[in-house]
Structure 1
Amino acid sequence: MVTLDGEYRIAVLHQAAPTPAIGGVLKPVKPGGYKDSSADLAYALHLESQDACTPSIKLITPSSSPDPSKDADWSFGDYKETILEVIEKHGANVLWANTNVHSAHALLDIAKQHPDILMVGQDPRHVDNYDDKAWVNRWLQSHAGLEGTFPQTWIVPRDTPEVLASIPLPVIIKPVRGRGSQGVAYCRTSNELEQRAKKLWETGSRVVIEEFCSGEEVTITVLPPGTYDPPVGVKDKHWALPVVRRFDHTDGIMPYSGGVPVTANSTLVPLEEASVDPEYARLQKRCELVGQALGTLATIRIDARRRGQTASGMDREFALFDTNMKPNITGPGRPGRDDQAALTVLAAGGLGWSYRDLVRNMLRQAVKLRCLL
C-alpha cells in the first residue's frame, strides 16, 4: 500500500479502448464498458470526498456537475490520450482502472511517463494469461495446496471435434476468454455439446469443457495484502472475504447479473453455518492461495461449486472453477441502484462494511505505476 502526503485526486477509468484478440480469441466487452459500476464507485468516492472524516479525497469527473443518474458523467474512457489529459491537465494522481486490462493496455505506457501515479487495478502484463481459463486453472493446480482443486477439464480445438465424443456427460462448456456467464452452457447430451462447441468455435479456435459439479455454488472475494479498516487491520498476505452463496440457477448456470441482480439470487452464508462446516474455511484458504500465486494487486473473485453429495447425503468438497480478474463492483448509492450490490459488496457486508467502506479500503491498497515497469 502507498499513501499520499496530500490529496488523492482520483479519476475512474471505464473500458473504451478496443481489446486486442489474444491467441485468436477476443474477450467479449461488457455493454457500456463498465460505465455503470464506474459511476457507482465514483459516486461513492464523491460521497467520501464530502465527508469531513476524509477531506484528502477529490474526485475528477468528465462533467463539472456530474448527474448521479447519468453513468457517463462519472468516469473516463481508458484511451492513452484521455488518461494523459486527466493526469496532465486535471492533476489526477490516482487512476482507478475499472476496466479489463491486458498486455497492450495504455496504462503500461502511462507508467513510463508517470511512474509515481497511483493505480487501483491489476497488472496488465499478466492478465492475458490469467484471463485464459484453459491456461490459468492448469497453472494454478501446479501450486502447493491447490493440487486437484479444479474440475476435470478438456481443451478441445476446432480442428479435433471428434474429441467431444469421448468426454463423459454432463459437462459445462465455456469460451477460453469469457465474461460472466456469457457463452457458458450446461450440456446433458452429445448433441447439445456439439452444437454449443460449434457456436463457440465461431469466435475462437478452442473451447473449455469441465466436468459438471452438481452441488452448492459459492463465490469468494480475495483482497491483496495491506492495511484495512476494522475489524480487519493489517494483512501481510492475500485474504478472503466471507462466503457468498449463489442460488436460482437457470439450466445449471447462474444468470447474467445484467438481467437478474445478484441480490435476487445470492446471499451471505451465515457465519454460524460456515463455522460448523470446515469446507468453507478450506475453500477460503485455497482462494487466498490463488491470490498469492497470481500476485494480484487488487480485488479478485473466485467461483466454486461442491462436487455433489456422497451416498450418505454429505456435501462433498468444493472445486474452484473460475477466477475473475475484473470482478463486478456495482453498488448502491445512486438513484435506482439500491438492488445493484455486486457479489463482492455482499461479501464485504459480512464484515459490517458498507459499499463506501469497501471502496475506501480498495483505494487504500493503491500501488504506484512504477511497479508495472
Structure 2
Amino acid sequence: MTQRCVAILYQALPPPVIDGLRKDAKPGGYSDGGADIAVALRGRGVTVATPVAAPDPAVALDWVFPDTAAGIAAAIAAGADTIWANTVLFAGHPLEQVRAPVGIVGQEPAAMQRFDDKFATNRMLGDAGLPVAGSFLLSGSARPGVVALDGVAGAIAARGMAFPLIVKPVRGRGSQGVTLVVDLPGLVAAAGVLIAAATFGDMLMVEAYLPGEEMTITVLPPDAPRPDGRVAGGQHALRPVLRFDQRGGVAPYNGDVPVSANSVAIAAARMDEPAVVAMVAACEAAAAMVGSRSAIRIDCRADAGGNFHLFDLNMKPNMTGPGRPGRDDQDCLSAIAAQADGWEYADLLLAMLAARWVAG
C-alpha cells in the first residue's frame, strides 16, 4: 500500500434538517471513534496528521479535526493526503470541496444524505426484490404518503400488519428513539412523545417487528481486501454478528451497553445455512445498490419462519476499537466481525484505507 498521511474528521457541524427530519448528533461527534482509528493506524505505521503536535491517547480531540471547511483545510495543511470522514455527511458538506490529489475514506456526502432516510432506502431495496421489513410513515397530521397519528389503526389493518410493532425515527442513530409497542395505546403514546419532542423531526416509521434472530452485517467496498488478502472486486460482507440480550425487543444503545457485551460473530459452520447465505447476498446487493464507497453495516432480523429481512442500512457505522486508555471493551460490531476471520481492529481499518477514493 502507498504510504499515506491520514487525517480523521469528527462531527462538529450541526446536523441539518432534511425534509423536516433530522439525525440527532452524537455527543462528542464521533471523536472517540476517530481517535481510536488514528491511534490504531499510527500503531501500524501509517502517518496520521493531528491538530496538536504531541497528541495524548487519552484525549480524543487531540487526534481529530472538525468536519468544517476550516478543519479540513487545517488537516490538509498539516500534511494529510487522505481525509477519513468519520462523521455524518450530507449534500453541501465541506467534504464535497476535497479534490485530487487528496483522497477520501468514507461515503459521498449526497449518497449518505439520501440513504440515511431509512424508510425511502428500505422501500427502494424492497422494490428491487430484496427482503425488507414492512413499514409506513407516521406524523401528527396526514400528508401524501404519510399517515396521521389518529389514523394509525386503519393504516395497520390496511397493510395486514399486527402487533407487536416498532416505532422509530426515519433518520435515527443507533437504537435511539426505537420502541417496541405491543398494542395501539402503546403505539399512540410512544409516537406522540417522539413527535412532540421533535428530536428526530416531525415524522416516524412504524415497522413490522420480526421475532427471530437479529444479526448485523458489515459490507466492505470492492477495493477493500478481504480477510484472506484477496481483492476480488464487488461489495463483500464480513462474518455476520449475532445480537443478543435485547431490551424490550431492541438492541440497547452502544453508549449504554458496549456491543462487545451483547454481540458475537456467528460460527463459521453457520455460513452455509440457506437463510444466512440469502441474508449475506441481500446485504451485498444492497451495498451495491447504494454505491457504497466505504464500510457500511446492515441490521437484519429473522421472521417467524427463520427468513432474514433487512431493516436498517447504516452508511456510517460506528468504528470504535481498542488501543487507547479505557477502551479495551470498545470493539465495534464491524471489528467483532473482522476478528472472526483473523483480522485485528487495525487490519479492518487498513482495508478501509485501501478503498480510499478521489473526487474529481
- Which runs of structure 2 are paired with 1:109-258 in the superposition (5 Å)? 110-111=97-98, 114-143=99-128, 145-146=129-130, 149-159=131-141, 160-166=148-154, 167=156, 168-202=162-196, 203=198, 204-228=201-225, 230-258=227-255
Residue 99 of structure 1 aligns with which residue? 87
Deviations 1:39-83 (A, max 9, x none): 10000011012xxxxxxx311111211111111111111010111
Following superposition, the deviation at residue 105 of structure 1 comes to 0.7
CA contact (8 A) 1:39 1:75 kept: yes
Following superposition, the deviation at residue 90 of structure 1 comes to 1.4
Following superposition, the deviation at residue 104 of structure 1 comes to 1.8
Give the AA of the match of 2:48.
Answer: L
SS of 1:38's equivalent? helix
Structure 2 residue corresponding to 1:354, chosen from 336, 344, 347: 344
Following superposition, the deviation at residue 308 of structure 1 comes to 1.9
Determine the C-alpha separation between the residues in 2 that align with 1:297 and 1:227: 10
CA contact (8 A) 2:8 2:65 kept: yes
Q: Given the alignment of the two structures, is residue 286 of structure 1 paired with residue 268 of structure 2, yes or no? A: no
Q: Given the alignment of the two structures, is residue 76 of structure 1 paired with residue 61 of structure 2, yes or no? A: no
CA contact (8 A) 1:156 1:163 kept: no
Following superposition, the deviation at residue 273 of structure 1 comes to 3.0
CA contact (8 A) 1:40 1:332 kept: yes
Determine the C-alpha separation between the residues in 2 that align with 1:155 and 1:172: 12
CA contact (8 A) 1:186 1:253 kept: yes
Q: Given the alignment of the two structures, is residue 321 of structure 1 paired with residue 311 of structure 2, yes or no? A: yes
TM-score (norm 1): 0.90
Percent identical: 40
Structure 2 residue corresponding to 1:331, chosen from 300, 321, 332: 321
Q: Given the alignment of the two structures, is residue 34 of structure 1 paired with residue 30 of structure 2, yes or no? A: yes
CA contact (8 A) 1:165 1:190 kept: yes
Give the AA of the match of 1:180.
Answer: G
Q: Measured at CA, do residues 236 and 274 of structure 1 come closer, stay the same or move farther in structure 2, by a change above 3 Å?
A: closer
Following superposition, the deviation at residue 227 of structure 1 comes to 4.8
Residue 53 of structure 1 aligns with which residue? none
Determine the C-alpha separation between the residues in 1 that align with 2:304 and 2:271: 18
TM-score (norm 2): 0.93
Following superposition, the deviation at residue 155 of structure 1 comes to 1.1
Give the AA of the match of 1:106.
Answer: P
The gaps in structure 1 that reach 5 residues or longer are 50-56, 310-315
Deviations 1:132-164 (A, max 9, x none): 111110011122x51xx1112111232022222
Paired residues, number: 345
Structure 2 residue corresponding to 1:44, chosen from 37, 40, 45: 40
SS of 1:369's equivalent? coil
Following superposition, the deviation at residue 235 of structure 1 comes to 2.3
